Chains A and B, each alone.
Chain A
Amino acid sequence: MNFTNFGRYILLLKATFKRPEKWKIYMKAIFQQMDFIGVGSLGLISIISTFIGAVMTLQIAFQLVSDFIPKTIIGSVNRDSSILELSPTISAIVLAGKIGSAISSEIGTMRVTEQIDALEIMGINAPGYLILPKILAGITMVPVLVIISMVLSITGGYLGGTLSGAVSPAEYIQGITTDFNPYTVNVSLVKAFVFGFIITSVPAYEGFYVKGGALEVAQASTRAVVVSCISILACDYIITQLML
């Protein structure tokens, strides 16, 4: 059954990446989706990243009780955790809930109200027109959101640490600037790119093949979020294993 779904998913992607009928119309749809995925999620990602950064700092400070460990390590650990894991993965899971369910419901509703049939009857490649702009917007905007998330998470760590007195501003800044390896950002961006693809393509697949009515659309939406989250975590492990 899962192999059948995977096969259908691959076939859908094949249809999605066919040459568009008119690039001008697709470009308009891509920008709309970039606005929805990127700008529309900025507030949520900002709030989550800032608080996660702040909480991380407090928890690291709580666990580092030894006098032999310098407090600058709090900044270093927070920086690497944010860049490598928290920003890409937590952002992706949050976006899977917000964007994934929206994509699945939108396409699923179009399926059950025959709007997808209408596109096909007109001679339009429905997977291409509906899914391609979402995937392209996802793989471009999720990395942008992840970069913003990294910055805000580290800033949140600074605010949380200094306001609570867990770490001094100088120690924190020394921590985040010491032994910084830019390669970690590359790993994070690769993750963001892959997660952006998953967050858009998996829910699109779930929505595209919905049969039935409102109940089935809702079920597909739930399934889309669950499958996306599991796929994100599995890919997170694989990318980390391969790149670090």
Chain B
Amino acid sequence: MIEIKNIHKSFGDNKVLKGISGKFEPGVTNLIIGGSGSGKTTLLKCMIGLHHPEEGSVEYDGRDFTQLNTEERIEIRKEIGMLFQGSALFDSMTVEENIMFPLNMFTDQSRSEKLDRVNFCLERVNLEGKNKLFPAELSGGMKKRVGIARAIAMNPKYLFCDEPNSGLDPKTSIVIDELIKEITEEYNTTTIVVTHDMNSVMGIGDYIMFLHEGKKFWEGSNKEIAKTDITELNDFVFASRFMKAAKDKF
């Protein structure tokens, strides 16, 4: 479980996060949603230590990440898998080398054991046989799937996904969403997805935290979100005519 308490973060005079707290349980897909500039990516980066919050704590199963020294942080980071918005695959490495990279760095497994793990991860994301391709040879959806394969290579306890659907067609988006949900449930990972994709919200949002102007405005599940009468949330989730019509029907 990850628990954040009273997170504050500013860039110069711009206060991006204004005291956000929340709990993210394992085995369920936790979504952080909000409009552009609402602070969701900043919150994610504070949680994984790429930004340092001015105030507040981020606890990984009781271990406060903000209070740990570098070595202790590295130990927690070995338990984290992350899917980046742009996939962040290493350009100079093949798909196989990308997925094998954390295994090479942190395990003493033999090459065949590592290769088995790579093939298992690739199979898990339906990319069998793509081992020798370079990231430049992959489509956007394939890159995301390789990103997921690399993220799960070390059997992470915590999985973070930053805008996993950005730049993808609706069908591929659903494939990625379902993959994230399956992995979360199968391995009981604490998964946090930052998104503004409404299909993801309605499809896999077991727990949703809605950010607005740097504050937590609402939290609940995808079933509850349709019934809410909070104007800011409705303006965001049901912005399109189609979604509005769907809500009215619901």
Binding site for B on A (CB under 8 A): 21-22, 25, 109-110, 113-115, 117-118, 120-124
Contact = CB atoms under 8 A, between A and B. Distances in A.
Contacts of A121: 48, 50, 77, 80, 82, 160
B78 A123 contact: yes
Interface in B189-210: none
Contacts of A114: 84-86, 88
Secondary structure at the B interface, as helix, strand, loop or mixed, is mixed
Contacts of A120: 49-50, 77
Contacts of B101: 122
A21 B106 contact: yes
B75 interface: yes
A25 B101 CA distance: 10
Contacts, number: 50
Interface string B63-90: 0000000000111011010101110111
A120 B106 CA distance: 13
A115 B91 contact: yes
Nearest to B71: A123
Nearest to B80: A121
A194 B82 CA distance: 39
Contacts of A123: 73-75, 77-78, 80, 106
A22 B104 contact: yes
A116 to B, nearest CB: 9
A25 B105 contact: yes
Given A25-B104, A121-B82, A123-B106, A115 B74 contact: no
Most buried by B among A21, A25, A117, A121: A121
Nearest to A106: B92
B86 A113 contact: yes
B51 to A, nearest CB: 11
A161 to B, nearest CB: 45
B102 interface: yes
A115 B105 contact: no
Given A123-B75, A123-B77, A118 B105 contact: no
A164 to B, nearest CB: 47
Given A114-B85, A121-B50, A121-B82, 17 more contacts: A22-B104, A22-B105, A110-B90, A110-B91, A113-B88, A115-B90, A117-B88, A118-B82, A118-B84, A118-B88, A120-B77, A121-B48, A122-B105, A123-B74, A123-B75, A123-B80, A123-B106
Contacts of B80: 121-123
Nearest to A32: B92
The 10 A-B pairs at the shortest CB distance, nearest first, are namely A123-B77, A114-B88, A118-B88, A123-B74, A121-B82, A114-B84, A123-B78, A115-B88, A122-B102, A21-B105
A117 B88 CA distance: 8
Contacts of A124: 105
A113 B77 CA distance: 20
B45 to A, nearest CB: 8
Nearest to A120: B50
Contact of A117 (B50, B90, B91): B50
Interface in B91-128: 91, 101-102, 104-106
B164 to A, nearest CB: 13
Contacts of A109: 91
A109 B135 CA distance: 14
A21 B168 CA distance: 36
A239 B101 CA distance: 42
A25 B107 CA distance: 12
